[in-house]
Protein backbone atom coordinates (compact mmCIF):
# COMPACT_ATOMS: atom_id res chain seq x y z
CA UNK A 1 0.00 0.00 0.00
CA UNK A 2 1.30 3.45 -0.94
CA UNK A 3 0.89 6.26 1.58
CA UNK A 4 1.13 9.98 0.86
CA UNK A 5 1.57 12.31 3.84
CA UNK A 6 1.00 16.07 3.95
CA UNK A 7 0.42 18.56 6.76
CA UNK A 8 0.26 22.29 7.45
CA UNK A 9 -1.02 23.29 4.02
CA UNK A 10 -2.58 26.43 5.57
CA UNK A 11 -5.08 27.08 2.74
CA UNK A 12 -2.32 26.67 0.14
CA UNK A 13 -3.48 23.17 -0.78
CA UNK A 14 -4.03 24.08 -4.43
CA UNK A 15 -0.27 24.74 -4.70
CA UNK A 16 0.63 21.25 -3.48
CA UNK A 17 1.37 18.59 -6.12
CA UNK A 18 0.09 15.42 -4.50
CA UNK A 19 1.53 12.14 -5.80
CA UNK A 20 -0.71 9.20 -6.57
CA UNK A 21 -1.20 6.61 -3.87
CA UNK A 22 -3.68 4.52 -1.93
CA UNK A 23 -3.91 6.50 1.33
CA UNK A 24 -3.63 10.28 1.58
CA UNK A 25 -3.07 11.53 5.13
CA UNK A 26 -3.26 15.17 6.23
CA UNK A 27 -1.91 15.79 9.75
CA UNK A 28 -3.67 19.09 10.44
CA UNK A 29 -3.49 22.85 9.94
CA UNK A 30 -5.33 22.76 6.65
CA UNK A 31 -6.41 26.37 7.24
CA UNK A 32 -4.92 29.61 8.57
CA UNK A 33 -7.68 30.73 10.94
CA UNK A 34 -10.18 27.90 10.73
CA UNK A 35 -12.92 29.96 9.09
CA UNK A 36 -15.88 28.35 7.37
CA UNK A 37 -14.82 29.43 3.83
CA UNK A 38 -11.27 28.18 4.40
CA UNK A 39 -12.41 24.84 5.73
CA UNK A 40 -15.01 24.34 2.99
CA UNK A 41 -12.48 25.08 0.26
CA UNK A 42 -9.96 22.65 1.72
CA UNK A 43 -12.47 19.84 2.20
CA UNK A 44 -13.68 20.18 -1.39
CA UNK A 45 -10.08 19.89 -2.58
CA UNK A 46 -9.22 17.02 -0.24
CA UNK A 47 -12.29 15.01 -1.19
CA UNK A 48 -11.50 15.44 -4.88
CA UNK A 49 -8.09 13.75 -4.56
CA UNK A 50 -8.02 10.36 -6.30
CA UNK A 51 -6.64 8.33 -3.40
CA UNK A 52 -8.83 5.45 -2.29
CA UNK A 53 -8.63 6.50 1.37
CA UNK A 54 -8.32 10.06 2.66
CA UNK A 55 -7.56 10.47 6.37
CA UNK A 56 -7.59 13.82 8.17
CA UNK A 57 -6.87 15.27 11.60
CA UNK A 58 -7.25 18.92 12.58
CA UNK A 59 -4.53 21.20 13.89
CA UNK A 60 -4.12 24.22 16.12
CA UNK A 61 -5.13 26.64 13.33
CA UNK A 62 -8.35 24.75 12.51
CA UNK A 63 -10.65 26.52 14.96
CA UNK A 64 -13.93 25.51 13.29
CA UNK A 65 -13.29 21.86 14.11
CA UNK A 66 -13.04 22.63 17.83
CA UNK A 67 -15.40 25.58 18.32
CA UNK A 68 -18.20 24.43 15.98
CA UNK A 69 -17.79 20.66 15.77
CA UNK A 70 -21.33 20.09 14.53
CA UNK A 71 -20.88 22.48 11.62
CA UNK A 72 -17.44 21.06 10.84
CA UNK A 73 -18.61 17.46 10.81
CA UNK A 74 -21.59 18.36 8.62
CA UNK A 75 -19.11 19.70 6.05
CA UNK A 76 -17.09 16.49 5.94
CA UNK A 77 -17.54 14.64 2.64
CA UNK A 78 -18.37 10.95 2.84
CA UNK A 79 -15.02 10.07 1.30
CA UNK A 80 -13.00 11.74 4.09
CA UNK A 81 -12.13 9.88 7.29
CA UNK A 82 -11.78 12.42 10.10
CA UNK A 83 -10.03 11.30 13.28
CA UNK A 84 -10.33 13.23 16.52
CA UNK A 85 -8.93 11.12 19.33
CA UNK A 86 -10.32 8.15 17.49
CA UNK A 87 -9.27 5.36 15.19
CA UNK A 88 -10.09 3.45 12.05
CA UNK A 89 -8.87 0.24 10.45
CA UNK A 90 -7.90 0.34 6.78
CA UNK A 91 -7.04 -2.90 5.03
CA UNK A 92 -5.81 -4.45 8.25
CA UNK A 93 -3.81 -1.42 9.44
CA UNK A 94 -4.97 0.34 12.60
CA UNK A 95 -4.88 4.15 12.47
CA UNK A 96 -5.31 6.56 15.39
CA UNK A 97 -5.50 10.33 15.03
CA UNK A 98 -5.49 13.32 17.38
CA UNK A 99 -5.40 17.11 16.87
CA UNK A 100 -4.10 17.83 20.38
CA UNK A 101 -0.92 19.89 20.86
CA UNK A 102 0.77 21.36 23.95
CA UNK A 103 -0.48 24.79 25.01
CA UNK A 104 0.78 27.69 22.90
CA UNK A 105 -1.03 31.05 22.94
CA UNK A 106 -4.51 29.50 23.21
CA UNK A 107 -4.82 28.06 19.71
CA UNK A 108 -7.28 25.31 18.80
CA UNK A 109 -6.98 21.92 20.50
CA UNK A 110 -4.31 23.22 22.92
CA UNK A 111 -3.89 21.41 26.22
CA UNK A 112 -1.46 22.17 29.02
CA UNK A 113 1.49 19.82 29.36
CA UNK A 114 1.37 17.14 32.02
CA UNK A 115 -1.87 16.03 33.63
CA UNK A 116 -4.07 17.94 31.15
CA UNK A 117 -2.64 16.48 27.97
CA UNK A 118 -1.61 13.03 29.22
CA UNK A 119 -5.06 11.33 29.01
CA UNK A 120 -5.23 12.00 25.26
CA UNK A 121 -2.03 10.02 24.73
CA UNK A 122 -2.97 7.30 27.17
CA UNK A 123 -6.08 6.74 25.03
CA UNK A 124 -3.96 5.72 22.02
CA UNK A 125 -4.56 1.97 21.77
CA UNK A 126 -1.85 -0.61 21.93
CA UNK A 127 -1.51 -2.21 18.51
CA UNK A 128 -1.80 1.09 16.63
CA UNK A 129 0.09 0.80 13.34
CA UNK A 130 -0.18 4.36 12.03
CA UNK A 131 -0.36 7.18 14.56
CA UNK A 132 -1.33 10.63 13.26
CA UNK A 133 -1.01 13.61 15.58
CA UNK A 134 -0.77 17.24 14.67
CA UNK A 135 2.26 17.84 16.87
CA UNK A 136 5.54 15.96 17.31
CA UNK A 137 6.87 13.98 20.24
CA UNK A 138 9.63 15.46 22.33
CA UNK A 139 13.05 15.52 20.69
CA UNK A 140 12.00 14.18 17.29
CA UNK A 141 11.81 16.58 14.32
CA UNK A 142 10.55 19.28 16.69
CA UNK A 143 13.17 22.04 16.88
CA UNK A 144 12.25 25.60 15.91
CA UNK A 145 14.65 28.15 14.46
CA UNK A 146 14.20 30.70 17.24
CA UNK A 147 15.12 28.19 19.97
CA UNK A 148 17.11 24.96 19.51
CA UNK A 149 15.46 23.26 22.47
CA UNK A 150 12.87 20.57 21.61
CA UNK A 151 9.24 21.73 21.73
CA UNK A 152 7.47 18.39 21.25
CA UNK A 153 5.42 16.60 23.88
CA UNK A 154 7.19 14.35 26.40
CA UNK A 155 4.03 12.45 27.33
CA UNK A 156 3.37 11.68 23.68
CA UNK A 157 6.92 10.33 23.37
CA UNK A 158 6.44 8.12 26.43
CA UNK A 159 3.27 6.61 24.97
CA UNK A 160 4.95 5.99 21.62
CA UNK A 161 7.77 4.19 23.41
CA UNK A 162 5.15 1.97 25.06
CA UNK A 163 3.10 1.04 22.00
CA UNK A 164 5.76 1.34 19.24
CA UNK A 165 3.60 2.13 16.17
CA UNK A 166 5.04 1.38 12.75
CA UNK A 167 4.64 5.02 11.73
CA UNK A 168 4.04 8.30 13.51
CA UNK A 169 3.02 11.14 11.20
CA UNK A 170 2.74 14.77 12.30
CA UNK A 171 3.50 18.36 11.30
CA UNK A 172 3.02 21.58 13.32
CA UNK A 173 6.74 22.42 13.51
CA UNK A 174 7.45 23.55 9.96
CA UNK A 175 11.22 23.58 10.45
CA UNK A 176 11.15 19.91 11.45
CA UNK A 177 10.11 18.58 8.02
CA UNK A 178 11.73 15.22 7.34
CA UNK A 179 11.92 11.59 8.39
CA UNK A 180 13.65 9.70 11.17
CA UNK A 181 13.52 6.03 12.19
CA UNK A 182 13.96 5.20 15.85
CA UNK A 183 13.33 1.99 17.78
CA UNK A 184 11.26 0.49 14.97
CA UNK A 185 9.02 3.52 14.40
CA UNK A 186 9.27 5.70 11.31
CA UNK A 187 8.67 9.31 12.36
CA UNK A 188 7.51 11.65 9.59
CA UNK A 189 7.13 15.40 9.90
CA UNK A 190 5.11 16.10 6.76
CA UNK A 191 4.77 19.89 7.07
CA UNK A 192 4.14 21.19 3.56
CA UNK A 193 5.14 24.79 4.26
CA UNK A 194 8.37 26.19 5.64
CA UNK A 195 8.75 28.65 8.49
CA UNK A 196 7.77 31.50 6.13
CA UNK A 197 4.58 29.66 5.10
CA UNK A 198 5.90 28.89 1.63
CA UNK A 199 4.69 25.52 0.24
CA UNK A 200 8.15 24.24 -0.61
CA UNK A 201 8.21 20.83 1.11
CA UNK A 202 7.25 17.82 -0.98
CA UNK A 203 4.64 15.34 0.21
CA UNK A 204 6.22 12.35 1.91
CA UNK A 205 5.63 9.01 0.19
CA UNK A 206 5.96 5.72 2.04
CA UNK A 207 5.20 2.24 0.76
CA UNK A 208 4.46 -0.81 2.88
Q: Give the per-residue pLDDT at 113.
A: 97
Q: Give the per-residue pLDDT at 126.
A: 98
Average pLDDT over residues 3-15: 98
90 DSSP β-pair partners: 93
Say if residue 146's pLDDT is above 90.
Answer: no
Domains of the chain: 2-207 (3.60.21.10)
**Poorest-pLDDT segment among 18-27, 87-96, 145-154, 180-189:** 145-154
8 Å CB contact between 43 and 70: no
> What is the per-residue pLDDT across 24-44, written as a single tens digit (0 to 9) for each?
999 999 999 999 999 999 999
Q: Give the per-residue pLDDT at 95.
A: 98
Average pLDDT over residues 111-140: 98
Average pLDDT over residues 170-185: 97
Mean pLDDT, the chain, as a whole number?
A: 97
Amino acid sequence: MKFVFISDTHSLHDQIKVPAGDVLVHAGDFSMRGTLPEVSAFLDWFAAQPHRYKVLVAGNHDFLAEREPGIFRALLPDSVIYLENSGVEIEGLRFWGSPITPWFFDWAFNRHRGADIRPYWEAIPSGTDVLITHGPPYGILDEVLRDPRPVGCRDLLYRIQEIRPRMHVFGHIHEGYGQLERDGTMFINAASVDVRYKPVNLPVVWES
